[in-house]
């Protein structure tokens, strides 16, 4: 099974891939409307917003969580050297 | 191809990991590494051939636990269509490692910060699936108009309260097996319109 390189989500169904294209390495949530992959800043902001919306955490804590999960993902390696 | 020696090394590593799960589930995260070595049937030093430090072993374990849990919830959530089915999937995944999970939530602050973050991100996976199902059901007007995060936190609060008080609720048998259906049914009733 493929894992999204930008957020870590497992991708099985075509609908879970960016543009429904199973050849892509990133998922539908990590794609921009034009199908390209979101930037580091876009993804981080999106993750923070999502954590606040779904779990109600403090903004600073949410940012820490977003960074810690991005640190482990292949798409963002260069941002953590 | 792997040599015989590599295979043996891999199997020892597996033994240590399984032993660590068992020891931490039973004694908590302050258990000495000597107890893990004894359970795995290896010498104390062998543990540190495979993991450079105690911290590394604990971090690996929680990430491994998180990956398995995340994958199970993901696969089950995709097939489940309503809140009850998702919550059932959540509890089924947790039930397999109930005691380990209880130790994890009870002793979170004892763990290294990286490990705590890894654990927080496991909960985010559940929050993601939860929000998807709730939003879908909300569109069908089937669910009360409560902020998403409070709905999720209410579920987690209820679940963790029971788990953290397992000694009172279910001292002699697995808690989720005993109370799971009741917790799910009650929560679903609470959020239904
Ligand atoms: Zn993604």
Torsion of CA A55, B79, B178, B143, to 10 degrees: 50
Q: How many domains does chain A have?
A: 1
Q: How many domains does chain B have?
A: 2
Q: Once rounded to an integer, what is the mean pLDDT over residues B84-104?
A: 92
Q: Round to whole Å and give the CA distance between B27 and A30.
A: 41
Q: Once rounded to an integer, what is the mean pLDDT over residues B31-42?
A: 95
Is B110 found in the same domain as B32? Answer: no
* Most A CBs within 10 Å, among B68, B76, B117, to test the A interface: B117
Residue B81 pLDDT > 80 = no
Token pair belonging to A5: 């390189």
The closest CB to that of A55, out of B75, B114, B124, belongs to B124
The closest CB to that of A54, out of B70, B120, B127, belongs to B127
Cα–Cα distance list, B104 to A62, B86, B99, B111 (Å)? 20, 22, 9, 9
Is B121 found in the same domain as B98? Answer: yes
Of B71 and A71, the structure prediction assigns the larger pLDDT to A71
Least Cα separation, residue B13 to chain A (angstroms): 22
Please report which confidence band the pLDDT of residue B95 belongs to, taking 50, 70 and 90 as the band edges.
Answer: very high
Q: Round to whole Å and give the CA distance between A52 and B124.
A: 10
User: What residue of A is the nearest CA neighbor of B72?
Assistant: A10
- pLDDT, tens digit (0-9, with 9 covering 90-100), for B43-66: 999 999 999 999 889 888 988 888
Is B120 found in the same domain as B78? Answer: yes
Give SS3 for B51: coil
Residue B1 pLDDT > 70 = no
Is B183 found in the same domain as B93? Answer: yes
What is the reported pLDDT for B34?
A: 95
Query: Could you tell me the residue range of the domain that residue B104 belongs to?
Result: 53-191
CA A9 to ligand 1 center in whole angstroms = 6
Q: Once rounded to an integer, what is the mean pLDDT over residues A10-25?
A: 93
Window 103-132 of B: residues touching A by CB (8 A cutoff) are: 114, 117-118, 120-121, 123-124, 127-128, 130-131
Cα–Cα distance list, B27 to A63, A73, B30, B102 (Å)? 33, 33, 7, 11
Q: What is the CATH number of the domain that holds B130?
A: 1.10.357.10
Is B67 found in the same domain as B39? Answer: no
Is B77 found in the same domain as B47? Answer: no
Residue B70 pLDDT > 90 = no
Residue B99 pLDDT > 90 = yes
Q: What is the CATH number of the domain that holds B5?
A: 1.10.10.60
| Predicted TM-score (pTM) of this structure | 0.88
Give SS3 for A13: coil
- pLDDT, tens digit (0-9, with 9 covering 90-100), for A25-60: 999 999 999 999 999 999 999 999 999 999 999 999
Please report which confidence band the pLDDT of residue B23 belongs to, taking 50, 70 and 90 as the band edges.
Answer: very high
CA A16 to ligand 1 center in whole angstroms = 9
What is the reported pLDDT for A54?
A: 97
3-state helix, strand, coil in chain B (%, to 5): 80, 0, 20
Decide: residue B11, CB within 10 A, 0-12 exposed, 13-18 middle, 19+ buried: exposed
What is the reported pLDDT for B63?
A: 85
């Amino acid at each position: 099974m493929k894992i999204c390189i930008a957020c870590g989500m497992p991708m099985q169904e075509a609908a879970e891939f960016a543009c429904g294209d199973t050849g892509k390495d990133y998922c539908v949530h990590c794609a921009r409307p034009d199908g390209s992959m979101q930037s580091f800043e876009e993804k981080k902001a999106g993750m923070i917003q999502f954590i606040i919306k779904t779990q109600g955490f403090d903004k600073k804590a949410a940012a820490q969580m977003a960074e810690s999960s991005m640190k482990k993902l292949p798409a963002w390696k260069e941002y953590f050297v | 191809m792997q040599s015989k020696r590599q295979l043996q090394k891999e199997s020892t590593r597996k033994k240590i990991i399984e032993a660590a799960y068992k020891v931490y589930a039973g004694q908590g995260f302050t258990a000495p590494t000597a107890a893990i070595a004894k359970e795995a049937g290896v010498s104390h030093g062998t543990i540190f051939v495979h993991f450079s430090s105690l911290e590394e072993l604990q971090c690996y374990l929680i990430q491994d636990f998180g990956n398995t849990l995340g994958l199970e919830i993901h696969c089950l959530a995709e097939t489940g269509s309503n809140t009850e089915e998702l919550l059932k999937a959540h509890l089924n995944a947790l039930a397999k490692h109930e005691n380990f999970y209880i130790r994890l939530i009870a002793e979170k602050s004892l763990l290294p910060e990286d490990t705590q973050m890894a654990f927080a991100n496991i909960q985010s996976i559940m929050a993601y699936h939860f929000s998807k199902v709730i939003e879908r059901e909300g569109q069908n007007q089937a669910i009360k108009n409560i902020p998403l995060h409070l709905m999720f936190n209410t579920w987690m609060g209820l679940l963790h309260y029971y788990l953290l008080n397992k000694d009172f609720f279910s001292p002699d048998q697995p808690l989720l097996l005993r109370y799971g259906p009741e917790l799910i049914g009650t929560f679903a009733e609470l959020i239904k319109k």
